[in-house]
Amino acid sequence: MSNKGEASTPLLAARNLVKAHGRTQALRGASVELHAGEILAVTGASGSGKSTLLHCLAGLVRPDQGSVAYAGLCLDQLPEKRLSELRRSDFGVVFQFGQLIPELTAADNVALPLMLAGAARTEARARAGEWLERFGVRGQEELRPGEMSGGQAQRVALARALVTDPKVVFADEPTGALDSLASEQVMTALVHTARESGTAVLLITHDAQVAAYADREVRLSDGTLAPLEVAA
């Protein structure tokens, strides 16, 4: 479980985020906090601004107004090079369709973040194998994304997001393209691994069953966050 005693010192905090895409106002003053080791679900209907919120929190886009603080750093003020470094070391991102590199095997997809950080390929692939085993896809190392089921590919994507031991994993509708059984397997693997490693998870979902895996739930509607709810 998350460390509720440290609620006064969030690991990641957004304040009054405003973000527009052309004439569409995606965020209208959204504020949220994520604590170390916590799993937080952000729910809401399609088009409510959930993915935009995640992109701002992960430093993938800059808000038009407001601020994002991570471990004492103001992400919205950091240069792109520093943001890229954080995304390689402290952040892991999982998207709805995994976004694995189709030309690479499962092992090389997972090993890629380590190699980009300077690890030797042999060492990186060995560590990738350990993470594939943790997510129940050991033996699939040499398969390419097109040869995997949706559930297998998404567990490979989770392994890739966690292989660098990030402090925060941003999961954007990670089960949206999966059937109910595969969704349960992916969420069980994600939650178990996050608990084991103490990783915080920001989970974007429209599915109440997926949100139930979280410690807390906030709802995004028309670009603003509703009061916090304790997940059942």
Q: Which domains does the chain have, with CATH numbers?
A: 1-90+200-232 (3.40.50.300)
Confidence of residue 230 (pLDDT cuts 50, 70, 90): very low
Q: How far is CA 124 from CA 91, 136, 185, in A?
A: 18, 18, 25
pTM equals 0.88
Strand partners, 221: 224
Q: How far apart are CA 191 and CA 1, in angstroms?
A: 10
Sign of the Cα torsion 100, 95, 215, 167 reads positive
The arithmetic mean of pLDDT across residues 126-147, rounded, is 91
The arithmetic mean of pLDDT across residues 222-229, rounded, is 69
Confidence of residue 4 (pLDDT cuts 50, 70, 90): very low
Q: pLDDT digit string (tens) for 141-191?
A: 999 999 998 888 988 998 999 999 999 999 998 888 888 888 888 899 889
Confidence of residue 3 (pLDDT cuts 50, 70, 90): very low
Whole-number average pLDDT of the chain: 88
